[in-house]
A and B are shown apart, each in its own frame.
Chain A
Amino acid sequence: MALNVADYRSNVFVDWCPGCGDYGILAALQMALAELQLPPHRVAVFSGIGCHAKTPHFVNTYGVHTLHGRTLPFAVGAKLANPELEVIAVGGDGDGLGIGVGHFVNTGRRNVDIIYLIHDNGVYGLTKGQASPTLKFGLKTKSLPKPNINDAVNPIALALTSGYTFIARGYAYDVSHLKEMIKRGIEHRGLALVVVLQPCPTYNNINTKEWYRGEDRADPATGKPRSRLYKLEETGYDPKVHSQETDMSKTISALKKAREWGDKIPIGVFYQNEAVPTYDERISMRIPHYREKPPAKQKICNEAGAPTTDLTALFDELRVT
């Protein structure tokens, strides 16, 4: 029987603020899972700490709400033990790009076949609106006593230089586009990043829904707002690395796109390279039976508790008489 979106909804009350971008991200995720017809038991959603982190509780799949900034290590550990799991890591901008940025970079080095969704709203919502690592320098959102003294990290550029092999951006209020990004990220063989721009109606009074929609810069002729967001795919931009020789030029184009901000903010897929071996492929090169008998699927003892491991050869190396 086909699965539908409702099958991916848990019965937990969703307690985000009214108008929060998280609703759009949750809906897009559930729609993506339904369209991919992924059985709920095969999916594990991991989160960190913050508003985003409640996501797994609202999704009717395995859900692991971890520690601040530590989404990726937990997610990678589970995937390592059982590569058949469809692992979805969700993180916040403070969570993943502040306290957890070491994991962001180092997970890129491994090209683990999982998807990582970053909720990017520029503020630490759950602690009442402090500046997150993606808030631009000099901005003063409403609960900041002084303008932001730090510059912003650019997650797309950082992902490009860290080894992510699928890098995309979506917008929380463009659910169907975001759903496509998530679907493509899940289907990608390798580590996928989807950064989701998301207004925080409670604490970010600068990058609001109205700001993204461009209400402050209406077309003088028509009076209609001109959205700051545009879709890369509508401009003929091709993110795919079709051959390794073009990797450099693709990376540079993606980097240029990653630096666009202000009145022209691209969403869509920035970069995709499927030629890089995934972590499970790398392990399989060393341990040929890895995919067939990953750690979680190995029998370690029989019913009487006798261990399956035979240490004879290991003892032989140490034998002296």
Chain B
Amino acid sequence: MGRHDFAWMIGGPQGSGVDSAANIFARACCYGGLHVYGEREYHSNIKGLHSYFHVRVSKREVRSRVDFVDLLCTFDAESVVRHVWEVSPNGGIICDEAVSSTKISDIQTLTPPFLEEFQKIMEKKKVEAETVGDLLNAAKKSGVHVYAIQYMDLIKDLAEQIGEPKLSKLTRMINVLSLGISFGLLDYDKAMVKKAISTIFADKPRVIDMNMMALDNAYEYVNQNLGGGFDDQRLETVQTDEKRILVSGFQAVALGKLLGGCRVQTYYPITPAADESVHLEAHEIFKLVPEVSGGEEKGSIVVMQAEDEIAAINMASGAALAGARAATSTSGPGFSLMVEGLGWAGMNEVPVVVNYYQRGAPSTGLPTRHGQDDLRFVIHASHGEFPRIVLASGDIEECFYDAVRTFNYAEKYQMPAIHLTDKALANTTRSYKIFDTSRAKLERGQLLFQIENTEQYKRFKFTKSGISPRIPLGTPDAVFWNTGDEHDEFGHISEEPQNRTRMMEKRMKKLEIADREIPIEERVNFFGEPDAQATIVSWGSPKGAILDAMEKLSQEGWKVNFLQIRMIHPFPKEYVSKVLSRAEKRIVVEMNYSAQLASIVREQTGLVLENYVLKFNGHPMSSDELFDAIKLILTEKASERQVLTRGS
């Protein structure tokens, strides 16, 4: 039986090539016309702690992760211990033969909380295991295929072929060997894997050669030793004419920003935001479309690594004042430092953009793990009242288009704009039809590059909309002033009560205008039929899991629809009220403890969302657990507040 819907996982110590093996795996699948969804999990550690990549492969688009693994690919003991229970009943485990004798209690990187939980599961499953081998035997009994590989022999063979006497130099090939075993078992088209290796190591010909050899040897090993392959199942390629990319959230944001005209990016290193800035810096010079640019061939972005996040946002504001589209990119701890600067930008109507990647919080929290804890924070951050835009993307494709729009909103309404994403989006890799750049339209609002009338320019001129014509620093025949103090129309300090009232109203008015003008299609998505037994309300990255869970529910005959709120501020309250007041059951799904969106919905519409599905353990929601949770609600078996806990 051929298949093209499959969940593969590779685990191993950080620094052992898990990422590159997963990258090759995902690319090779894509080259074969398949879609992939790869979720990366890692510790806040450089080398040694456990990391893994969970990759779903399908001939259709994949939007979320699932809880099971069809084929678990490992080369260390810890990965077996951590993930053995996730392997589906007729799935497989690839492991190093040598780990069988390893005592579980000897694996030093397994933490006390993990072992406690592990013990509970073993008791529940009535398994007694002292060694990894005991665990593997238990798995075998439940129908899992165990492929114990003599990795050391494979490495020795490779060493002989290459003529490298030092085996230690070749141990890092273990990731590709395990990958080759995976593909060998699946009898997947080797040419696709070779193409992936050649692309990924394009600038390292020797590495390509070694990887190719390892791959051949692994396929050969499977032929000779593991005849019959994996449960007689092949992973089959499919034909496609679609032009596709394999893209991570941070890359989608970076590309969207370049397209959106971002020409200054400032940042201070922080996980998981920094990848975006590094990607931008690596592409600091790019081509322009000569027909649009007026013949200009090259554009560029200046990426500045600042001394801290305080400097980062204020440098970006300085650049925005000079007329460039400017942004900074950060995560929770960094944004905490930026809030004073955000308030200044609000007060001075500066169109500065912040790309905000949430992660588990508070404080340092879970630096490399997922969370959606900061919704309340971003809409209220900084003292006082000032307008801002907050836009939250639900998937990687939205990250791209929203990155463009965030700049438009910032400039049109002359206020700081925050593009809210998270770790799950940043570090997930997904295949997509190539993004349509013709959909992007830049709007710069009332930005002028020259002054036409002769009266003295007023940067904060009172207007009906509250929006004043804006000029960059350096514009001839004019000057203006800015200050964080309350100011008059020229930008000079003023504490006069009448002026204060008018200025507050002027600034806040812009939010009303934005609320009125921004089309609803850019602010919400609605999925499903208007009539449904339940309406899910959510924001951000749970989108994919929700859509996949809905599909499964509909296969069982349930009718569920989904309101995804993308613009959190200004809140699309009329639309949300309309949809939610006709909903039969209202379920909020989000990745935080206190159901922050639900409280905002209540504040903005007066409507109560009766059912909470929440998760805050650092791992993205899977469509499986969400399906279970929604079903409990539909069958009236759920408590008001369900907390999801899966993830490893």
Contacts and interface: CB of A to CB of B under 8 A. Distances in A.
Nearest to B400: A311
B304 interface: yes
Contact of B434 (A63, A72, A319): A319
A44 B243 CA distance: 48
Interface residues of B, number: 86
A319 B318 contact: no
Interface stretch (B5-13, B25-33, B413-421): B25-33
Given A66-B344, A76-B318, A290 B300 contact: yes
B258 A309 contact: yes
A169 interface: no
Contacts of B243: 319, 321
B326 A320 contact: no
Max chain B Cβ within 10 angstroms of own Cβ: one of A63, A74, A76, A79: A74
Contacts of B306: 73, 106
A103 B311 contact: yes
Interface stretch (B90-98, B219-227, B480-488, B618-626): B480-488
A319 B304 CA distance: 28
Contact of B307 (A85, A102, A299): A102
Interface stretch (B278-286, B385-393, B496-504, B580-588): B278-286
Given A102-B308, A311-B258, A319-B245, A77 B483 contact: no
B483 A310 contact: no
Contacts of A80: 264, 302, 304, 315, 318-319
Contact of A306 (B292, B298, B304): B292
Given A81-B264, A82-B473, A73 B321 contact: no
A308 B290 CA distance: 8
B316 to A, nearest CB: 6
B383 to A, nearest CB: 12
A305 interface: yes
Contacts of A137: none
Interface stretch (B161-169, B175-183, B207-215, B441-449): B441-449
A158 interface: no
B442 A41 contact: no
A302 to B, nearest CB: 5
Interface of A is mostly: mixed
A179 interface: no
A321 B298 contact: no
A306 B285 CA distance: 19
Given A65-B482, A66-B314, A312-B287, A81 B319 contact: yes
A40 B479 contact: yes
A217 interface: no
B296 A293 contact: yes
A64 B321 contact: yes
Interface string B176-204: 00000000000000000000000000000
Given A41-B474, A64-B482, A295-B263, A319 B244 contact: yes
Interface of A: 10, 12, 39-42, 44, 46, 49, 54, 56-57, 60-67, 70, 72-82, 84-85, 102-103, 105-106, 283, 286-287, 289-290, 293-302, 304-315, 318-321
27 contacts: A41-B479, A57-B492, A63-B482, A65-B485, A67-B314, A67-B341, A70-B310, A73-B312, A77-B314, A80-B302, A81-B302, A103-B311, A106-B307, A286-B284, A294-B302, A295-B326, A298-B300, A301-B444, A305-B441, A306-B292, A307-B289, A309-B258, A309-B288, A311-B258, A313-B287, A314-B286, A321-B240
CB-based closest 10 A-B pairs:
A77-B318, A300-B261, A77-B315, A320-B30, A295-B263, A106-B307, A65-B483, A295-B324, A81-B319, A81-B322
